């Protein structure tokens, strides 16, 4: 049986259907975007190994390092609120996510050198004046035998560029050539990468050499299993495949 609607109802339905907006494509397009660009100094010289972060609050969502030409490409999820660019010896810069995502051309990020450039030197703490962010590292180095600890002196003496190479002599650690950069680190019995924490921020799925080179490291601590990992850095999703804590020199 065919149902015939009153003329008023027919006109109302037609008006409502005319106002309908297909939401799916717009939502898909806004979910994430790709940002391409180059990082230079004020003279236009490419800044190799400059760090580009996608950040939400205090959490790092994505992190890449600029290549030999200063170029980078990073996925910007909709949940990110800003993009941070930094490199040792230069003032960091921050941009709202949308200010770069909405641009169709390549982005040029210029970093200014810090006002005072000093050559490398060692600082020896006295009477509890040690920087707070390293105090816990040295405390664990003294009391926690489950970890392997690398100080800035250890890192400098090694002469290694890739942070992964510091682990070459560590029992139970294997290094294999990465298709992207440096080496892939795996602990015995695990196919998954160890969980990486950078200055207290968790970087799920990251490879050590994609995140850090030894020149920017102040300290590194390595736990080959969940044993001994400080409580604030335990992560059940890691499946016992180890944890690496990185502390940077320009924190």
pLDDT in tens, 34-47: 888 899 998 889 99
What digits encode the pLDDT tens for the residues 225-249?
Answer: 888 999 889 887 777 789 999 998 6
Tens-place pLDDT, residues 2-27: 445 555 545 544 444 444 433 333 33
Residue 229: name the closest of 220, 219, 237, 221 by CA.
221
How many other C-beta atoms are found inside a 10 Å radius of the C-beta of residue 100?
18
Please give the pLDDT value at position 4: 53
Among candidates 236, 226, 227, 243, which has minimal Cα distance to 185? Answer: 243
Percent of the chain scored above 70 by pLDDT?
A: 76
Does 118 have pLDDT greater than 50? no
Q: Which two tokens stand for residue 133?
A: 């962010």
Give me the domains of the chain, ranges plus CATH numbers: 30-111 (2.60.40.3330), 132-248 (2.170.130.10)
CA distance 158 to 91: 28
Whether residue 219 has pLDDT greater than 90: yes
Q: State the DSSP H helix or E strand holding residue 28, giving kind and residue range, or none if neither.
A: helix 24-31
Q: CA torsion 66→160→164→202, rounded to 10°?
A: -60
48 Cβ neighbours under 8 A, 6+ residues apart: 66, 67, 68, 70
CB 54 within 8 A of CB 74: yes
183, 176 Cβ separation under 8 angstroms: yes
> Residue 146: is its pLDDT beyond 50?
yes
Angle at 133 between CA 84 and CA 149, to 5 degrees: 105
More confident residue, 28 or 182: 182
Under DSSP, the state recorded for 238 is G
- Buried/exposed code over 8-32 (b: 16+ C-beta within 10 A; e: otherwise): eeeeeeeeeeeeeeeeeeeeeeeee
Mean residue pLDDT of the chain comes to: 78
The reply to whether the predicted model has a pTM over 0.85 is no
């Amino acid at each position: 049986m065919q149902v015939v609607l009153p003329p008023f109802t027919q006109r109302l339905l037609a008006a409502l259907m005319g106002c309908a907006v297909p939401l799916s494509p717009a939502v898909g397009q806004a979910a994430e975007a790709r940002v391409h660009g180059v990082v230079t100094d004020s003279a236009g010289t490419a800044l190799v190994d400059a760090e580009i972060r996608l950040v939400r609050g205090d959490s790092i969502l994505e992190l890449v390092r600029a290549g030999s030409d200063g170029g980078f490409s990073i996925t910007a999820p909709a949940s990110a609120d800003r993009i941070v660019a930094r490199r040792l010896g230069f003032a960091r810069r921050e941009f709202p996510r949308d200010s770069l995502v909405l641009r169709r051309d390549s982005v040029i990020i210029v970093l200014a050198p810090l006002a005072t450039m000093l050559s490398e030197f060692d600082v020896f703490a006295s009477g509890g004046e040690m920087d707070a962010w390293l105090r816990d590292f040295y405390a664990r180095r003294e009391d926690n035998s489950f970890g392997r600890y690398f100080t800035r002196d250890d890192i400098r003496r090694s002469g290694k560029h890739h942070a992964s190479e510091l682990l070459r002599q560590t029992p139970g650690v294997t290094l294999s050539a990465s298709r992207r950069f440096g080496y892939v680190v795996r602990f015995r019995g695990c196919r998954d990468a160890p969980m990486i924490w950078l200055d207290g921020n968790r970087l799920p799925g990251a490879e050590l050499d994609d995140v850090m080179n030894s020149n920017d490291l102040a300290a590194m601590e390595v736990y080959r299993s969940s044993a001994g990992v400080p409580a604030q850095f335990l992560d059940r999703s890691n499946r016992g495949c180890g944890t690496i804590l990185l502390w940077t020199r320009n924190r």
